[in-house]
Amino acid sequence: MPDKPSIVFAHGLWADGSCFSKVIDLLVADGYEVIATQNHLNTVADDAAAVRTSLGRAGSPVVLVGHSYGGTVITAAGTDARVAALVYICALAPEDGDTTQLDQTKFPQTPVFQHIDLADGRLFLRPSGIPDFAGDLPDAEQKLVWATQMGPLADLFTQPVIGAAWKSKPTYYIVGTEDRTVQPELQRFLAERMGAKVTELASSHVPMLSQPQRVYQVIRDAADAVQRGAG
């Protein structure tokens, strides 16, 4: 068998690269090279460029994993030839040229958006919103999620997204059926549009923290398929 592919992560809003820590531990223990990109959440183009920098550090081929808005990022960055497969976790995935917001307007707004503050041009999640973001985590972990959040520029979701990697790469999608941040029906709609292999988990918006073993297995399935194809 050829070498294992590398795994590169892209986080979303109100998070940073540490949100993948539990899954990273499992992948590293299994012999995978793993990189978690730190997105600044200023522009889609900059975040996609940050992912491409991570691709340059990683061995090829790469399984690219995005959570929430990180799905937008891997949709743009995943057109890179070094990317062999995409894994979306409760994630957004615009059409080429659309904004991240467009698909969200087709579905009812989720409860988390009643708990947002604007500070210095950025959107931050109030402590009162954490149960709608990560409600299936223990209280101490919920507080850690809030403490490590990165807030996006207020116009991030209205920026056009260039590229749609899911149209040309094998895709996997994890739906969080109890998600109160990205509508589960929106997730199912996006997964069907991209023709993804779907796994549904009874989780909040952060299954990589509440059910890391299940998320690891989906990433492992994608990596195994890439490895077999490379052979």
Question: Which pLDDT score is estimated for 231?
Answer: 39
Residue-by-residue pLDDT tens, the chain, 231 positions? 468 999 999 999 999 999 999 999 999 999 999 999 999 999 999 999 999 999 999 988 999 999 999 999 999 999 999 999 999 999 999 999 999 999 999 999 999 999 999 999 999 999 999 999 999 999 999 999 999 999 999 999 999 999 999 999 999 999 999 999 999 999 999 999 999 999 999 999 999 999 999 999 999 999 999 999 853
Residues 89 and 68: beta-carbon distance below 8 Å: yes
Q: Is the pTM of this model over 0.75?
A: yes
- Residue written as token pair 């109890």: 178
- Give the count of beta carbons closer than 10 Å to the beta carbon of residue 121: 11
Question: Which pLDDT score is estimated for 60?
Answer: 83
Find, among 95, 56, 104, the residue nearest to 76 by Cα: 95
For every residue of 169-212, DSSP letters joined together read S-EEEEEETT-SSS-HHHHHHHHHHHT-EEEEES--S-HHHHSH
* R_g (Cα) of the chain, nearest Å: 16
